[in-house]
């Protein structure tokens, strides 16, 4: 059976989320900024049209923002995460063969549909199916999506990109016909091929390979030499031979990192400690969510890397018995921090990394602290449940800072309400 993949990709996702609950934004230039209100990470079509580039630092586009009255938002991950779930839920009503690839993209395996098509259904079924998915998602969630359909994931990515670019396609494009595929690959630059980064793109250019079509025609040994096994896979995928299957079960993460750049530079130990404790708590919660525990914890703190005398220090704690217990990890974090902290350094960034993750196992401990461990785990379970029901941070360890607006907390001056996840933020209609 010939395989068929579809990539469903939300259009300007963060901006679209803002627009669902703030209809006044439609038809106007809108951008969403990254953490600390740093760079533009999402742009409406209108914002792209006036020349705001992806990743442009906010201070560099201030003049455009003012001249065109661009609506600017801080990232609102509570909203985007929740809207993403709604989109994915809606998409999964069409098939259980779904891989949630990122916050705003999902791959679907539509091979089953294809076989039905050969058994006598009229042609056009795939595209109709894609249109139905797109229309349903937009109607149910308010988020516009594009759908690219092709024999491999890599080609589906290209089809999706084209679906967004060509208004005549109504956001759904099928790239199945071999002649169509060749024509499209000819017009696709290699840097727009899934998995081709800057480095490969530059290397290929040296050999005169600039289009996806040229890339798809290199022989296997040549690619292997230039780009290794991953390159071979990319080329095969471009030729329509699937090498990447649908990954319906996300692989549990092997490491967890929580790190942030601070709003302002900080130098007091206590300020730095509250930040580290807050990150540790977040990381520990992530560990418990995916039911794993860590063998090794790494704490780092760094000064502003754009200034002279850049410093970056790390300390690690090895844990004999893997854990995901917040207070235990906070204790180790504190010790690590005491090792690396130096008065006089202006810290701009810090974080914690949990490595060597293992499955959370039934508690196996020394002889004496059995009862304690059980109670600890129950405490963590209760805390996670309360925080998931009543909003994250409802209860937390005091060492993570009680007063909001601490120096290390990210700046988000223009965050929209958490419309869908906080009762107090529900949009009002009269």
Partner 1 sequence: MDRSLEPVDKKVVIAVVNGELTVKRLRKMNGRIVLMPENKDYHEIELIDGMDCEIWGVVAHVVHTL
369 to 408: interface string for partner 1, x by CB under 8 A: ----------------------------------------
**Quick check: 141 binds partner 1 (CB under 8 A)?**
yes
Which of 66, 96, 139, 308 touches partner 1 (CB under 8 A)? 139
How near is the Cβ of 33 to partner 1 at its closest, in Å? 23
Distance between CA atoms of residues 174 and 127, nearest Å: 6
Which residue's CB is nearer to partner 1, number 221 or number 428?
428
How near is the Cβ of 89 to partner 1 at its closest, in Å? 11
**Quick check: 417 binds partner 1 (CB under 8 A)?**
no
Name the one range near partner 1 by CB under 8 A: 45-53, 138-146, 232-240, 317-325: 138-146
Which of 2, 60, 89, 140 touches partner 1 (CB under 8 A)? 140
Compute φ and ψ for 12, nearest 5 degrees. Answer: 40, 55
Which residue's CB is nearer to partner 1, number 398 or number 429?
429
Name the one range near partner 1 by CB under 8 A: 19-27, 149-157, 185-193, 205-213: 19-27
Name the one range near partner 1 by CB under 8 A: 22-30, 70-78, 232-240, 255-263: 22-30
**Quick check: 132 binds partner 1 (CB under 8 A)?**
no
Which residue's CB is nearer to partner 1, number 206 or number 428?
428
Which of 2, 26, 121, 182 touches partner 1 (CB under 8 A)? 26
How near is the Cβ of 64 to partner 1 at its closest, in Å? 23
- Secondary structure, 3-state, the chain: CCCCEEEEEECCHHHHHHHHHCHHHCCCCEEEECHHHCEEEEECHHHHHCCCCCCCEHHHCHHHHHHCCCEEEECCHHHHHHHHHHHHHHHCCCCCCEEEEECCEEEEECHHHHHHHHCCCCCCHHHHHHHHHHHHHHHHHCCCEEEEEECCHHHHHHHHHHHHHCHHHCCEEECCCHHHHHHHHHHCEHHHCCCCCHHHHHHHHHCCCCEHHHHHCCCHHHHHHHHHHHHHHHHHHHCCCCCCCCCCCCCCCCCEEEEEEEEEEECCHHHHHHHHHHHHHHHHHHHHHCCEEEEEEEEEEEECCCCCCCCEEEEEEEEEEEECCHHHHHHHHHHHHHHHCCCCCCEEEEEEEEEEEEECCCCCCCCCCHHHHHHHHHHHHHHHHHHHHHCCCCCCCHHHCCCCCCCCCCCCCCECCCCCCCHHHCCCCC
**Quick check: 422 binds partner 1 (CB under 8 A)?**
no
**Quick check: 144 binds partner 1 (CB under 8 A)?**
no
How near is the Cβ of 179 to partner 1 at its closest, in Å? 39
Which residue's CB is nearer to partner 1, number 393 or number 427?
427
**Quick check: 142 binds partner 1 (CB under 8 A)?**
yes
**Quick check: 24 binds partner 1 (CB under 8 A)?**
yes
| Size of residue set near partner 1 by CB under 8 A | 12
Q: In this structure, what token pair is assigned to residue 191? A: 């840097």
**Quick check: 23 binds partner 1 (CB under 8 A)?**
yes
Name the one range near partner 1 by CB under 8 A: 137-145, 240-248, 249-257, 298-306: 137-145
Which residue's CB is nearer to partner 1, number 26 or number 365?
26
Which residue's CB is nearer to partner 1, number 142 or number 391?
142
Name the one range near partner 1 by CB under 8 A: 23-31, 44-52, 181-189, 194-202: 23-31
How near is the Cβ of 91 to partner 1 at its closest, in Å? 13
**Quick check: 429 binds partner 1 (CB under 8 A)?**
yes
Strand partners, 315: 299
Cα 169 to its chain centre, rounded Å, is: 27
**What angle (nearest 5°) sits at the alpha carbon of residue 219, between those of residues 215 and 224?**
85
Applying CB under 8 A, the residues found at the interface with partner 1 are 23-24, 26, 136, 139-142, 427-430
């Amino acid at each position: 059976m010939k395989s068929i993949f579809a990539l469903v990709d939300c259009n300007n996702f963060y901006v679209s989320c803002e627009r669902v609950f703030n209809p006044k934004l439609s038809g106007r230039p809108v951008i969403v900024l990254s953490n600390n209100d740093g760079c533009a990470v999402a742009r409406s079509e209108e914002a792209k049209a006036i020349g705001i580039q992806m990743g442009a630092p906010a201070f560099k586009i201030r003049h455009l923002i003012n001249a065109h009255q661009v609506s600017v938002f801080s990232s609102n991950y509570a909203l985007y995460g929740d809207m993403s779930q709604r989109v994915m839920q809606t998409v999964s009503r069409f098939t259980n063969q779904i891989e949630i690839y990122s916050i705003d993209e999902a791959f679907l395996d539509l091979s089953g549909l294809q076989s039905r098509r050969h058994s006598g259904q009229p042609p056009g079924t795939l595209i109709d199916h894609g249109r139905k998915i797109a229309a349903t998602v937009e109607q149910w969630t308010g988020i516009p999506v594009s759908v690219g359909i092709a024999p491999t994931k890599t080609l589906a990515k290209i089809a999706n990109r084209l679906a967004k670019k060509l208004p005549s396609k109504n956001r759904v494009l099928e790239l199945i016909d071999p002649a169509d595929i060749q024509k499209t690959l000819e017009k696709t630059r290699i840097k727009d091929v899934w998995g081709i980064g800057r480095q490969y793109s530059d290397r290929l250019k040296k050999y005169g390979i600039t289009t996806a079509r040229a890339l798809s025609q290199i022989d296997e040994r040549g690619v292997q030499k230039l780009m290794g096994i991953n390159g071979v896979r990319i080329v095969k995928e471009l030729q329509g031979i699937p090498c990447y299957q649908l990954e319906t079960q996300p692989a549990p993460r092997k490491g967890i990192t929580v790190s942030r750049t601070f709003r302002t530079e900080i130098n007091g130990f206590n300020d730095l400690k509250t930040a580290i404790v807050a990150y540790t708590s977040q990381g520990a919660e992530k560990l418990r969510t995916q039911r794993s525990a860590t063998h090794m914890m790494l704490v780092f703190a760094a000064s502003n890397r754009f200034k002279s005398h850049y410093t970056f220090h790390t300390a690690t704690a090895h844990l004999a018995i893997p854990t995901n217990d917040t207070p235990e990890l906070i204790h180790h974090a504190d010790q690590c921090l005491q090792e690396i902290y130096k008065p006089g350094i202006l810290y701009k960034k810090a974080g914690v990394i949990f490595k060597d993750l293992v499955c959370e196992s039934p508690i196996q401990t020394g002889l004496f602290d059995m009862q304690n461990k059980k109670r600890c785990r129950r405490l963590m379970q209760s805390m996670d449940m309360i925080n998931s029901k009543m909003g994250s941070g409802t209860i937390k360890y005091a060492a993570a800072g009680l007063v909001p607006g601490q120096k290390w907390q990210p700046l988000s001056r223009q965050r929209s309400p958490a419309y869908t996840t906080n009762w107090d933020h529900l949009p009002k209609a009269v």
